[in-house]
Structure 1
Amino acid sequence: MQLVINTYGSYLHKAKGCFELKTEDKKTKISTKKVDSILITTGASISTDAIKLALDNNIEIQFLDKYGQSVGKVWHSKLGSTTYIRRRQLEIADSEEGTELVKDLILQKIENCIAHLEDLAIRRSEEKEKYIKKKVKEIKSLKKKLKKVTGDIESVRSRLMGYEGNVGKNYFATLSYLIPDRYNFSGRSFRPAEDEFNCLLNYGYGVLYSKVEKACIIAGLDPYVGILHTDGYNKKSFVFDIIEPYRHHIDRIVMKLFGKKQVRKAQFDEIHGGLTLNEEGKKLLIKSLNQYFDQRVRYGGREIRIEDTIQSDLHKLANQLIGD
């Protein structure tokens, strides 16, 4: 699970080989075997012994801002694998091989979007089912066009991103149509989010970024060597590339919260230009994220947690790059 510390004044330290979390007058002991990563989202303290305990057990410590975006992390200094994997990333970055890789990632994303919409169509009214089918048809048409794109990434980048963007418009228009009217939104909005749906989505994506980056590092992939997303100072371009097939996990979690009528206006605070999740909202979302990613599914011939499917895919990708 992810250990999320979002209560002001919390203190995490080491106690007899375990983590101990103090919040006001409460103490909770947590085994290192139960923790994959530690997310700290507000004013909290952590001892150096707790940091060393995390590093010794391959547990990442990440600090998030109020939007759920990573502002820094504590991670061991070892490379996840051979430097040959990173060299191969650089080799394919400007080639047609790189184009095919990111095309495959976008196509996986589109397939997952379609599957999500088709799941949402089940047991809907005839009117809503008809709307979903219309949007799915438009998305499939864009998918066909994207599959035909060939060439080095510099010459096709804008076309790929254009098709991907139009898929997103149809997809999110459908999600907005399906949630309660008072929460309808007009497209994606970022920092800050302009509405409750995007607020939950942005925070969830922030947590997902940390999972994908960690999986990249463990697999030996360089988070900064992007293909579709261009290089930039301190820009984790490859994480932006690789995250696309996994965004649907967050979309499903957020849609389920709306479907179960668990989202309330009181879980959000107004800030200049938009909304932010408050402590109550974060607690609801993080609990749902942990429960979802801890579910076990049949994947690649074995039963593993949904969270571990990301690591499995990135190990497979690293092996593919080096022909192993």
Structure 2
Amino acid sequence: MHQAQVREAEAPENDVHYEWADRSQYWLSEYEASIPKRKRRERQTHPLILTGNGMSMRVNRGALVIRDGFTHYPQKNEECRLFPGSLENPPRILMVDGSGEITLDAIDWLAEQNVSLIRLRWDGRVVSVVGQRGYAADPEKVAWQINARRDEAARVAVGIPLIRKKFEGTLANLGEFFPDAAPKDRAVRTAEAALRELAASPPSTVASLLGLEGKVANAYFAAWSTIPIRWKSLDKQPVPDDWLTYKSRSALRAKKVPTNRRATHPVNAMLNYVYGILETRTRIQVIAEGYDPTRGIVHGDGASGRDAYVFDLMEAGRPSAERRVLEILAERELHGCDVEVSSSGICRLNPGIARLLCTNLD
């Protein structure tokens, strides 16, 4: 009998441990398949990414021995060996969350081989950098970011493909999830006109490009008011009247100045949650590829701890994140217990609906 069949026969129905192991193995294989093939005399450019509990680095007979952490059970303990001067050595090693240990000899080895070790929090923010430069980013890529930021034409060239993809995703969402109504028609016309403008006479400045993006976003979110929000057990668990529809992307009750943060509506809370996941994924990708997340090109350099380059790249992925919220609204009835409201009116999602939002999130 095939190994998977044996395991299925032995495991109880819907056993979450086996499902977790299968999915973990699936994503590990997807990660390995994503690493580009390297030519024989070509230096490795792909970073080595580690995570889980029990990670370790030590030096043995002049080589760096790296052990990956455990993320699920059952799991085979993965170990690799890097040799001095080898073309196989990655330009940087990322430790994402997890736990483990590293010896002083290993730190010295990394510095001698000019390999940066970058420690990231669960949300992708840099905790520490170990290496000869003490800097997480690739200087050549950062130089490109700086030069592109100084050149208006280069900024627009970077921004247009991102905004175009955002418009295309917006139109796809409008076509699939929104009922026929005047706000939807207006949003579709606005997005289609913006796409034609990008093709025929693209903006020459970033301000004009972002102004065009703002028009599409305003029309798009105005159309969200037509989406029915279904609540069950309202007699036992009533909700505020303004939760019966979705009319504003801003948390109007949270502050005198409208803001998207600190959501006061469940839909805004869900949007903020999926945007947060998108931000974390994008930040990890940016750091893994050697860019400086704070060196914005379209949105400008980051301020107050916000990583502008991450927000540049996030634009193209926002419709996919919004799509997950739209799917939940289309397929599920909400309940008052899905949201916890603080004394200031700020919504916090139930962990169950937060988990569901993460499922099948592109």
Contact 2:263 2:347 in 1 (8 A): yes
Please name the residue that 1:157 is paired with: 206
Does residue 222 (structure 1) correspond to residue 255 (structure 2)? The answer is no
State how far apart, in whole Å, the 1-side matches of 2:284 and 2:357 are.
20
State how far apart, in whole Å, the 1-side matches of 2:163 and 2:211 are.
12
Contact 1:223 1:236 in 2 (8 A): yes
State how far apart, in whole Å, the 2-side matches of 1:246 and 1:32 are.
34
Please name the residue that 1:196 is paired with: 266
- Work out the number of aligned pairs and report it: 248
Please name the residue that 1:286 is paired with: 355
TM-score calculated relative to the size of structure 2:
0.57
SS in 1 for 2:360: helix
Contact 2:149 2:300 in 1 (8 A): no
Q: 1:150 to 1:174 in 2, by over 3 A?
A: closer
Gaps of at least 5 residues in structure 1 are 3-11, 21-27, 40-45, 64-69, 294-305, 307-324
SS in 1 for 2:341: strand
Shift of 1:241: 0.8
Does residue 83 (structure 1) correspond to residue 144 (structure 2)? The answer is no
- Structure having the higher helix fraction is 1
Shift of 1:237: 0.8
Shift of 1:141: 1.8
Please name the residue that 1:247 is paired with: 318
Please name the residue that 1:173 is paired with: 222
Please name the residue that 2:86 is paired with: none
Contact 1:169 1:187 in 2 (8 A): no
State how far apart, in whole Å, the 2-side matches of 1:237 and 1:29 are.
38
The one-letter code matched in structure 2 to 1:286 is R
Please name the residue that 2:256 is paired with: none
Root mean square deviation of aligned Cα: 3.8
Contact 2:163 2:213 in 1 (8 A): yes
State how far apart, in whole Å, the 2-side matches of 1:32 and 1:58 are.
24
Q: 1:214 to 1:266 in 2, by over 3 A?
A: same
State the structure with bigger RCO (CA 8 A, min sep 6), 1 or 2: 1
The one-letter code matched in structure 1 to 2:142 is R
SS in 1 for 2:347: strand
Give the alignment of 1:1-324 within 5 angstroms: 14=54, 19=70, 29=73, 31=75, 48-49=99-100, 60-62=120-122, 72=125, 74=127, 77=130, 82-95=138-151, 96-120=153-177, 128=180, 132-145=184-197, 148-151=201-204, 156-180=205-229, 182-189=243-250, 190-233=260-303, 234-278=305-349, 281-289=350-358, 291-293=359-361, 306=362
Shift of 1:167: 0.9
Identical counterparts, % of pairs: 20
Higher radius of gyration, 1 or 2: 2
Gaps of at least 5 residues in structure 2 are 1-22, 25-51, 56-66, 78-93, 104-116, 231-242, 251-259
SS in 2 for 1:231: coil
State how far apart, in whole Å, the 2-side matches of 1:159 and 1:136 are.
20
State how far apart, in whole Å, the 1-side matches of 2:337 and 2:323 are.
22
Contact 2:190 2:215 in 1 (8 A): no
TM-score calculated relative to the size of structure 1:
0.63
State how far apart, in whole Å, the 2-side matches of 1:225 and 1:94 are.
11
